[in-house]
Amino acid sequence: RKEVEQDPGPFNVPEGATVAFNCTYSNSASQSFFWYRQDCRKEPKLLMSVYSSGNEDGRFTAQLNRASQYISLLIRDSKLSDSATYLCVVNKDRGSTLGRLYFGRGTQLTVWP
């Protein structure tokens, strides 16, 4: 089973729409969770960390459900500039030697005018 699984999409939504992405992770010991954004032919960039209590940054809301081992990202009032691939990222175990991050394959979002 993959460490991190995401629906690859694509999601095509009109401007102003609300869109939600989900991601599941396999290791219950995972401790850190992030959403990254990757534009076409560019490097991944940190969008937001995901905290246990859930967190919000402007139009973006991230939620963590440890019991079901999934993470979600909600984008409200979509903008054309939100078009990108969104990567779900999970740390397997911060206490391990590496504490490496596992990247999902990404969910592609296209916002149309």
Partner 1 sequence: NAGVTQTPKFRILKIGQSMTLQCTQDMNHNYMYWYRQDPGMGLKLIYYSVGAGITDKGEVPNGYNVSRSTTEDFPLRLELAAPSQTSVYFCASSRDRGYEQYFGPGTRLTVT
61 binds partner 1 (CB under 8 A): no
7 binds partner 1 (CB under 8 A): no
CB-side exposure of 91: number of CA atoms within 13 Å?
15
How many residues are recorded in the chain?
113
For 103, the 3-state DSSP assignment is strand
27 binds partner 1 (CB under 8 A): no
55 binds partner 1 (CB under 8 A): no
Q: How far apart are CA 25 and CA 42, in angstroms?
A: 25
Q: Count interface residues toward partner 1 (CB under 8 A).
A: 24
For residue 92, the minimal CB distance to partner 1 (Å) is: 8
Residue from 91, 107, 109, 111 touching partner 1 (CB under 8 A): that is: 91
For 42, the 3-state DSSP assignment is coil
